[in-house]
Amino acid sequence: MKFNKIMYAGLVTLSFGTVLFTGYTKANAASWHSSAIPAKLRAHWRAKQNYGYSFKITKHAFKYSGESTCKNVKWKYRGNNFYYLKSNQGTILVHYFNHHKLTSNSMWHTYTK
């Protein structure tokens, strides 16, 4: 019986030590992705307060009304449905609520489909 307890304690210690020394790799979702912008963000969004003003997100670009298209966009998921979209013209923060509502740090802030 005493031998079993010693074997069990040794096995637990060995397992714990193996985990500590071998370590593990953690996936880093905080990196910038150059792949396509997530499909749930891609749409032609219109400003809630000014329906004539729009924000269009495509597979690899985004564009505000009256401004030039930002191409070669990289994106990063920040968590809780927040995304960063970065281009050579700057970085914007987008908050996706659902398939009808999105906010961004722009003049009109809230957008709907």
pLDDT tens-digit readout, 72-96: 999 999 999 999 999 999 999 999 9
Which is more confident, 66 or 16?
66
Q: Is residue 22 part of a domain?
A: no
Compute CA distances 81 → 23, 73, 94, whole Å. Answer: 30, 18, 8
User: What range defines the domain where residue 97 resides?
Assistant: 43-112
Q: Is residue 83 part of a domain?
A: yes
Q: Is residue 90 part of a domain?
A: yes
Which is more confident, 19 or 84?
84
Confidence bin at 20 (pLDDT 50/70/90):
very low
Compute CA distances 42 → 3, 6, 105, whole Å. Answer: 64, 60, 17
Is the whole model's pTM more than 0.75, yes or no? no
Q: Is residue 99 part of a domain?
A: yes
Q: Is residue 68 part of a domain?
A: yes
Which is more confident, 80 or 15?
80
Number of domains in the chain: 1
**pLDDT tens-digit profile of 44-68?**
999 999 989 999 999 999 999 989 9
Burial 4-36 (b: 16+ CB within 10 A, else e): eeeeeeeeeeeeeeeeeeeeeeeeeeeeeeeee
Q: Is residue 27 part of a domain?
A: no
DSSP letter (8 states) at residue 66:
T
Q: Is residue 74 part of a domain?
A: yes
Q: Is residue 5 part of a domain?
A: no
